[in-house]
Amino acid sequence: MSPRLVLMVSLPAFLPVPAAHGADEPEELIVEGERRRAADPAEARMAVTTIAVDERLPEGADLADAIARSPGTTVQRLGGLGDFSAVSLRGAALRQVQVHLDGLPLNPDGSAAFNLSELPLRAFERVEIWRGAGPAALAAAPLGGVIDLRTAADARAPLTVEGTFGSWSTGRGAVRGATTIGGTEILGAAEVLTTQSDFRYFDDNGTDGYWLDDRIRRRASNDKRQASGLLRLRSTKGAVRRTGLILLNARDEGLPGPIGAPADGRLRTLWALGSGGLEGAQGQTALSARAWGQLRDERLTLPSGEAIPEQQGHLGLSLGAVRPWARGEVGLTLQGRFDGRARVLEQPGAARLTLTGVGHGTLSLANDRLLLEAVAQGQGWWEQREGVRILRFAPLPRVGARARASDSVTLRTAAGRAVRPPDFLELFGDRGPMRGRSDLRPERGTWADAGLRLHGEGQGAELGLFIHHALDRIVYVQNAQRDLVPINLGESVVGGVELGGDVQRSWFDARASLNLSPSFVVSEVSGLHGRRLPRIPPVGGFVEVALRHKRIARVSYDLAYDGGNAWDEAGLFVAPPRALHGASVRLQPRSGLPAIGITVRNLTDTLVAPMSRDPRNPASGDVLRPLTDFAGYPLPGRTALITLTWSPSSS
């Protein structure tokens, strides 16, 4: 079977494949065994949290809301519903977090800060948040971590229709479901969203010491229209399983800019991802092959009417093999990828070819009470930009260990190296408020962590310690014109503590997290040595408590807190700390009737927060400043959403 599998890589994913002689016997092992199970925090050598997409999430929640429930996460939003949202893990920059879909890289090597608002939450069964590094098969080595969005393992989901209406002229419709027809699983989800997002916000006109020009304004040029869809086909018969996946997104939005700045224009985005994969076995060795392509087309229309187009594409191929042995398993993954950027006006095009090899092995000792893992990974890339050819290679080893102190106590530790070349936006920029620098150097880093997890039936808690040391970390900072400019910060350190807990009972559930992330610039740069890294709050946390009665009713309250953080490397622009309260109610009086969900965000309608006039001089007195996110974008006040969810098959 092995030669046949290699030859089939170039064939369409759903051409009939004749079963090999004697394939009937291992068929069940091949089909079921190759489906990667949900990550089990009690077994993993790396820090991981799994968030199930189920009734515990409020009806109006999005991907960013789900991820915010994990320890070690900081969600950064640029405004209200449907606006750009991304996640930082353990104080890492947004591009130091890789987002995958069923293992497919959506922003390979941090090629962009992935916008979570572009994907419908309910298209997925669970979200796995890996902090530090993900599974070896992903061939990823980010400094922050990996978020893997997982579709349902099988096609048993009923047809479900959902409609949402709410504040700021918001409307959202979604449909999802799965079935099996003629030996092929079909899973699909689609969503449309429209919102004016013209919420009220506080504008101090940039003069926080002079209150006569303060105003409550309406957010302008912040409307969104978006349609997205996902389709997955998977064979259920035969010795070789074939999987195809298509993801489409179309988005049109206004770009209002930070408080006090003019609008940046409008952005239209078309995005498509397609992949085909094969899975089989030769004896005890599981084999896999996957190819994918991604195309992103953007057109920014400036207020002057000038249009700036940009096209980026990624093509990738991955081959993998995993074989168990008496005391663990060994595996090999080879991945090749081509990234390209078309010429944009006077800016040149760019191309990058990346090759990654990963070998890993595990060793189980003391009746599986101790598990050791070693990963040998190497990554090389060749790129051409502005007529210059660059060739680089980075060794990326890492190790991990998991020890069971008892049936309910697990210890883990891990360490590794990370690298990220600058992406095309950082190099070339000139997109709205974003500017570029062609002389940026790749980020490099070393990280380590250790943790303790307590687990039992319906409950769990974890304590983690981490540190990562980065060289030439790339961060966006604001200049005097409020433009965002990337710079290499030289040497920096982020360390901290992660706490998390989760309790589930028949009538009650709760989860909470607390993150302490002190950060420092240690480079000998005048004025920067010893300062905090920009856009990393030193403390943050999340609490959610819910009461429920069977499946009829559920009432929940949540609180998200982020400490104050600087927008620039010198600490001149500082966002105030914020505490955002939320509540939700879900009612379904009888099976077969639509479920009604009501969600309220920023329950207290907070628009301003007090803070020191001069963050470097606490004796300067307090002033009121707008409630903003991490780059001076205002957050909306009280926002209410009403959602109706109906599954016709349950009627």
Instruction: Give the residue with greater pLDDT, 169 vs 16.
Output: 169
Counting residues of the chain whose pLDDT is more than 90, the rounded percentage is 57
Q: Tokens standing for 625?
A: 């400043």
CA distance 299 to 304: 14
pLDDT tens, residue by residue, 455-485: 988 899 999 999 999 998 887 777 666 677 8
CB atoms within 10 A of CB 422: 25
pLDDT confidence band for 7 (50 / 70 / 90): very low
Using CA atoms in the order 468, 515, 109, 102, what is the torsion angle rounded to 10 degrees?
Answer: 130
pLDDT interval class at 17 (50, 70, 90): very low
pLDDT computed for residue 25 by the predictor: 39
Lowest mean pLDDT among 220-234, 396-410, 569-583: 569-583
For residues 187 and 230, give the distance between their C-alpha atoms in angstroms, rounded to a whole number.
8
CA distances for 198 relative to 182, 224, 579, 639, angstroms: 48, 10, 22, 11
Higher pLDDT, 21 or 317: 317
Return the SS3 of 510: strand
306's CB contacts (< 8 A; 6+ apart) are: none
User: What's the pLDDT tens digit per position in 41-84?
Assistant: 778 888 999 999 999 999 889 999 999 999 999 998 888 888 99
**pLDDT single digits (tens) 218-246:** 999 999 999 999 999 999 888 899 999 99
Tokens, residue 218: 């309406």
Long-range contacts, 109-113 (Cβ 8 Å, 24+): 109/354, 109/420, 109/421, 109/423, 110/142, 110/420, 110/423, 111/312, 111/314, 111/339, 111/423, 111/424, 112/423, 112/425, 113/86
Q: Across the chain, what does the average pLDDT equal?
A: 86
- Cβ–Cβ contacts within 10 Å for residue 509, how many? 20
Residue 110, helix vs strand vs coil? helix
pLDDT of residue 605: 94
Length of the chain as a residue count? 651
Closest CA to 253 of 245, 264, 262, 238: 264
95 versus 337: the higher-pLDDT residue is 337
Q: Measured in Å, how far apart are the chain's first and last C-alpha atoms?
A: 46
19 pLDDT more than 50: no
Is the pLDDT assigned to residue 13 strictly greater than 50?
A: no
Q: pTM (2 decimals)?
A: 0.89
Q: Which residues contact 496 (CB under 8 A, 6 or more apart)?
A: 90, 91, 465, 466, 467, 515, 516, 517, 518
The answer, yes or no, to whether residue 437 has pLDDT greater than 90, is no
CA 253 from centroid of its chain's CA atoms: 21
In words, the CATH class of domain 2-650 is mainly beta
pLDDT at residue 44 in the model:
82
Name the residue with higher pLDDT: 339 or 532.
339
**pLDDT of res. 249:** 97
- What sign does the CA torsion over 68, 486, 378, 357 have? positive
The two structure tokens encoding residue 369: 């009470």
* pLDDT surpassing 90 at residue 623: no
Q: For the CA atoms of the chain, what is the radius of gyration?
A: 25
Cα–Cα–Cα angle for 320, 37, 330, nearest 5°?
A: 35
pLDDT level of residue 29 (50, 70, 90 thresholds): very low
pLDDT of residue 434: 72
Which of 392, 352, 276, 333 minimizes the C-alpha distance to 110?
352
What is the percentage of the chain residues whose pLDDT exceeds 70?
A: 88
Least confident of 295-299, 498-502, 574-578: 574-578
Buried b (16+ CB within 10 A) or exposed e, 281-295: bbeeebbbbbbbebe
Q: Are strands 574-575 and 639-646 parallel, antiparallel or unpaired?
A: unpaired
DSSP state letters, 123-138 = G-SEEEEEES---GGG
pLDDT value for 380 = 95
How sure is the predictor about 345, in pLDDT bands with cuts at 50, 70 and 90?
low
CA 49 – CA 87 distance, rounded (Å): 14
Q: What is the pLDDT of residues 101-141, one digit of tens each?
A: 999 999 988 888 899 999 999 999 999 999 988 899 999 98
Any residues with CB less than 8 A from the CB of 97 and at least 6 apart, and which?
86, 87, 88, 89, 110, 114, 142, 144, 145, 146, 147
Token readout for 629 is 């996110």
